[in-house]
Amino acid sequence: MRDLFLCAMFLIITGASFGQTSKGLDLRVNNVGWNSTYATVTKQLGKPLKVKKSTMKAGNHCTGDAQTFMTLTYRGLEVSLIGDGRGKGMRVYEMLVTDKRWLASGIRIGTDVEGVKGEFGEPNEVVDQDGTSTFYYHATDESTQVSIEFRDGKVTKILVAESIC
């Protein structure tokens, strides 16, 4: 009787968790993810090989506000940040992984399709084009999406990007 009760409780608990909707994928590389600060990026990833910085005056961008953009380049990883017109409040809005040295929430370049599905589940959308397949997942924020590109069944590119317009 006790075993039957425990089995019933297990089924109720697991059934409830399967019925929950996903909160979205929080893709992270070395604890750096969407919306991480500049300080977190440099602390977790170290000094970049290259830094590119640009500013846009107010009224010249889709938001109408002055903005600063910065791209930090590491071997096989680009991290793009956005902040105000004075370069304050810099935060990650995009990360592109192209080298297997970077572990991105349990997957890396070279992971096969089943490995990605095992880690993240079924994608929200799949697009096949020109010899590549791309899996799209919703991220934790509704304006952000994760895309994972495959060629010959292996991951070649991992991207988390926020729509900033």
Distance CA 142, CA 40 (A): 23
| 127: its two tokens | 């697009």
Structure tokens at 61: 């961008």
pLDDT over 80 (residue 15): no
In angstroms, the CA 113 to CA 26 distance is 19
pLDDT of 98 over the 60 cut: yes
Q: What are the sequence ranges of the domains in the chain?
A: 23-162
Q: What's the pTM? A: 0.81
> In the predicted model, is pLDDT for residue 43 greater than 90?
yes
Q: Is the pLDDT of residue 102 over 50?
A: yes
